[in-house]
Structure 1
Amino acid sequence: MTILVFGQSGQVATELARHGGDRVDCAGRDRADLNDPAACAALIASGDWEAVINAAAWTAVDAAEEHEDEARVVNADAPAAMAHACAQQGVPFVHISTDYVFDGSGSDPFPVDAPVAPLGAYGRTKLAGEEGVRAADGPHAILRTSWVVSAHGKNFVKTMLRLGAERDRLTIVSDQVGGPTPAADIARACLTIADALASNPDTSGTYHFSAGPDVSWADFAREIFAQAGLSPEVVDIPSSDFPTPAARPANSRMDNSATEAAFGIARPDWRTGLSDILTELGAKA
C-alpha cells in the first residue's frame, strides 16, 4: 500500500516525495484540487491507502484577508472532506496546521491544549480545518508547525539570500519569535506519525512540531547570513514598522513535548536544517 499525499510542489510535499520514496504518491491539482473537496474525498475512496497526509493549504496569509471564503474551502472544507473519507475507511490521516491558530500573546511556548484565538483569516480557516478533522472522528493527527523553510518555493531563507546579496543594510522584525522549521523535518515527522497511527490509532490527537531554539526573525536572518558568508547589517525593527494586511503572532513558540512523548520525535535544531538547505542551494559559505 501507499501513502497518499495531497500536495505536489509545496515545500513539505516536495520533501515527503523525497523522504517517502516509493511509499508516497503526491497528488497535485490535476488529480485533486483542494477547491473541490468532493474530488479530494473521491480520490481517497478510490484507493487502498496506507495513510493520507494533507500537505496542501492556502498559505497566502495576507491574501486570505480579502479572500477568506476561498481560503476556507481549501483550509477547512477540503481537510474535513479528506478526514471523513479516511474515517470511513479507517485510514490514518495526518493534517498539517499552524501556529496562527493562536493569538501570539505572552512569551511561553503554547501547549497543544492552549486556548485558540486566531488573529486573522488565515488562522481562522486553519482552525476551522482542525475542527473538521476532529469531527470526522477517525484516526488522525493534527500537526501544528511554524515558519516553514526549505530549498524549494518561496520562504524566508531564500528571500534573505537574495536580499543579503543585493543590499548592505536590512531592517528585519525582531519582536516576533518562533521556531523556524525545515520542511524536511516536517516530512520525516509526518511519515513517522502516519506509521504510528496505523499501528496505534489511540495516538490520535493534536500535536506541535517546530524546530529550536526559538528565535526572532532578525536573529534568524543573522544566522542565515553567517552560514552563507554574507555580511549585510541587520537592523532590528518592531512589527509596527513593517505593517501587513494580516497581523502576525508575536509569540509563535510551541511546546513540542507531547509529540516527543507520543512518537519519540525530538525537537530538531533548525541551524542544522538551515545548513542542509544552504548546501542544497549552493549557498553555503
Structure 2
Amino acid sequence: MQVPAPIEYERASSVEHAIGLLSRLGDEARLIAGGHSLLPMMKLRLANPEYLVDINDLHDELGYVDIAPTEVRIGAMTRHRELLESDELASVCPIFRDAERVIADPPVRNRGTLGGALCQADPSEDLSSVCTTLDASCVIRGPDGERLVSMDDFHLGPYQTVVRHDEILTEVRIPVRPHGSSAYAKVDRRAGDWAVTAAGAALWLDDNGTIADVRVGLAAVGPNTTGIPAISEALRGWAPGPDAWAEAAAIAAASCRPVTDSRGTADYKRHLAGELTRRTLRTAWERVVAWR
C-alpha cells in the first residue's frame, strides 16, 4: 500500500493566517483544500511537502460568485458544485456549467475548488481552459499585498504557476462584454475522466452581427492549457457560420502540440482539437443569437 511521507499539519483560519503560515514554514509547505490532486501525488511520493496548510475554513471568506454588469468575481474556495449549480453564473458564463458537468464525480465536485484546480496547473485540467477562454485574471495575495495576473501568464509550465510559496490565489475575475456567450466540450475515455482533448470557446458579436472577438482555449494538447491568439486575430470581422468555424478549427489543429499516450495518438488529439473548436464556437454563437 502506498502512503505519503510524514508531514506536519496546520489549519488556517483566515487568508492572512494562511499567508503567515506559508511565510513561516517556507517553500516546503503546500496548501490543501479539496486535496483530490495533491493527496494522490503524495501517496505516490511525487509530491513530498513537509507541511500541509489546510484552508477549508476559508470557504466563508473565499467561497462566492459575484456578478456585476462588467465583471464576474469568483472566490478561489468556491466548490465545483457551487459553480455547477449557480444559475446566475450560467446565465453570464454558460461555459462553466458545460465544464462542471463533465468534471469528475459528485464527491470530487463537492470538495474540489476553483483555486485548487487552477493552481494544480495540470495541462488536462478543465477549469484552466475555461478561465483562459474567458480572458480571466487571477488575484494573488501575499505578505506584500495583492497582485493581478492574467491567465495567459498564470501558468509557467506543467504543475507550475506564478504563485510564490508565501502567496495564495484568492479570486478569479472575468470581464463581461455585451453580445457574447461561451461553450465547452470534452472527449474523455469514461465519464468524469481527464480529457483526451477539450476545448472552450467564447464569442462576441458587434452591432452588425459580425464577429467582434473570439477566444479559444484547449486542454490536454500541450504542456499548458493552450490559448490560441491566432484564432482571435483571424476571425475578427468574419460573418458567423461554417466558414468561420472551419477556419478556427484548422488553426486550432495546427497550433496545438499533443503527444501520443495512453489516451490517444497525437494525430487523433489534433483532430479532436479542431472538431471541438468548431463545435464550441457554433454553440457559443447559437447562444448569442438566442439571447439577443
User: Per the shorter chain, which TM-score range?
Assistant: 0.3 to 0.5
Which protein has greater RCO, CA pairs closer than 8 Å, 6+ apart? 1
Query: Structure 2 length normalisation: TM-score?
Result: 0.32
Between structures 1 and 2, the one with greater strand share: 2
Query: Structure 1 length normalisation: TM-score?
Result: 0.32
